[in-house]
Amino acid sequence: MRTLYIHADPMEFESKKKTPVAEDIPDSMHNGSMEEVLVVFVTVESDDEDKAAQVSAEASADIVDTVKRVGAERVMLYPYAHLSSDLAKPKASVNILKMMHDMISSKGIEVSRAPFGWYKSFSVKCKGHPLSELSRDFKGKESRPETKGEEVFFILTQDGKEISVNDFRNGSPCMMEMIAKEALGKDNEPLKGEPEYLRLCKKFGIQWESMSDVGHMCLTPHGALMFDLVSDYSTQIVNDVKLPVYMVKGTNMFSLDEPAVKEHADLFGDRLYSINTGKKSFILRYAACHQQFAMMRNWNISYKQLPFGAFEVADSYRLEQSGETMLCFRTRRLNMPDLHVVCKDEDEAKDYFKVLDGRIFKEVEALGREYDMLVNFSSKKAYEENKQLILDLCREHDRPALIHFYPEGINYYWTVNIEYHIIDQMNRAREIGTVQIDIGNAKRFGITYADEKAEKVNPIILHTAVIGTIERYLYTLLDTAVGIEKKGVPGYLPVWINPEQARLMPVTSAHIPKAMEIAEAIGSYGIRVSVDDTDATVSKKVRRSKQDWCSYAAVIGDKEADTGELSVYVRSENTDKMMRADELAKCVRGEIGDKPFRGFYMPMMLAQRIDL
């Protein structure tokens, strides 16, 4: 429904001639006149027909509120077919107008209604104040059912005890921070000074784009390379889960005219980016869910093909508060390596839930970090049905979990959701990975599989981002590097993701050919090796290699050219080691292991590089 409000004094109309869809009216409705009136021009749209009560209630409530705000004394409902081209059927339009009339009248407001389907003449004198002309677009949102009780938080220990958050002691710093923030509602003290990881964002070319909306990042070559490597790695992880996976690519915009999309989107409220093209309303996706589910509903799936996964690194959009955005951690455009695992039933879903949980822990432990779990349940019933699952994970990881379940009364599409948190160098608990059991979206989107009896069954779907968003994984890497620096040694990145894996520094221009020969040999192993062919002094080249966080760096002079022995600075060990070129290559390659590889995103020769 679309409406136009005009606060007028007066408004008059007179019906002139019937149209083919005109309603039959008594003589008293052929003309009307009102003073101090809120005139509501109403176009009822086709989408309103299936939710007449909801849209009538939503519009009527807004009209009543507007009457009070502008100081009008009366309301005139005026059918007006020119605010939209997508019109409801005449009978449905009249029915909704009548409902609105009765709803507004029940609030003690004098209300009149002009006839539907008649050619009419009218005159209206607008008041001209700032609120005298307003437009509205009503979708008929269903009100959420009343919740019963309050949110509940407690600690579930490895031995199955449930401990009040007020009584829990000696948890990890991360767990205690989660309790303070999530369960007790205590705000963190404001940060003093700039977070240290931002210095590394600047070093690697990760920054905000000032010409875009708040919370949108841009990446110069080093940052872009790191981003793409993490994206590659997220894909590699999914393919390593021992599960058939379908890789997809989708759009990032979905129509709210689709009931499944709208119902799912309503759960996210004001965090959605929305676009109105004039004829339709769209939302930008906030994860890969919509696209993958829209595809799956058209797939012919057999129980013999379950379980399977669908995966996409999906650009997603969330309208975060502008004052809360953080480079790499809280952004409005994010990239979600979103895996959905389709399971035949809850037992199978729980089995793969454990598999994914294990891989989530494995990935953060590989970075030398630890997770603590915030486990959300959609209800107390969901907790009781899945308590053993979470208790198994607590025992597996030998750590307690912070349990949270919502009050009764809301029919969530999911039952269990785990948020995996690290404690960062600012002593904030930060959610990185996640996994969730979804029991509702298969039905909502019409996703089915044929069981043993060839009957259509809605599967259970797991949602997971094993390493979190690409941005949050980068955040974890940079935060980890800051933590290393705090130990009094140079910070470093894992070699596979470091833009500068190795650098050779010829002493003079005469040594450049030999440096290039060695670089070519090392590079043939699948290693990014740069050559500092600038005219800087050796000491400056060495200093620059350290400033650039090169994992390995070696000077090439007469001695090295003659003997083939290189004195190599190893950043992760903060020491020099003697090794030949092939030994260096094997050492670097060994650290990269089976991780993804990409070449430089800028020239390998430093003299050719622009100062970014």
Is the entire prediction scored with pTM above 0.85? Answer: no
Q: HSE of 590 in the Cβ direction (CA atoms, 13 Å)?
A: 7
CA 198-175-434 angle, to 5 degrees, is: 70
Confidence of residue 571 (pLDDT cuts 50, 70, 90): very high
pLDDT at 114 over 70: yes
pLDDT at 547 over 90: yes
Q: What is the pLDDT of residue 136?
A: 81
Cis omega (within 30 of 0) for bond into 195? no
- Per the CB < 8 A criterion, the answer to whether 368 and 480 are in contact is yes
Write the DSSP string, 455-508.
-EEPPEEEEEETT--HHHHHHHHHHHHHHHHTTTS-----TTT-S-SEEEEESS
Class of domain 2-137: alpha beta
Residue 131 and residue 69: Cα distance in Å, rounded? 8
- Per the CB < 8 A criterion, the answer to whether 498 and 596 are in contact is no
Q: What is the pLDDT of residue 144?
A: 52
Report percent pLDDT > 90 for the chain.
73
Residue 254 and residue 33: Cα distance in Å, rounded? 44
The pLDDT of 39-63, averaged and rounded, is 88
Q: What are the domain boundaries of the chain?
A: 2-137, 152-192+231-478, 502-608
CATH fold of 152-192+231-478, please?
BirA Bifunctional Protein; domain 2 (3.30.930)
Confidence of residue 138 (pLDDT cuts 50, 70, 90): confident
Q: What is the pLDDT of residue 199?
A: 96
Distances from the Cα of 125 to the Cα of 16, 35, 122, 135, 380, angstroms: 21, 10, 10, 17, 57
pLDDT at 85 over 60: yes
pLDDT in tens, 548-562: 999 999 999 999 999
CATH fold of 502-608, please?
Rossmann fold (3.40.50)
pLDDT in tens, 265-309: 777 666 788 887 777 778 899 888 989 999 999 999 999 999 999
Q: Do you know the residue count of the chain?
A: 612
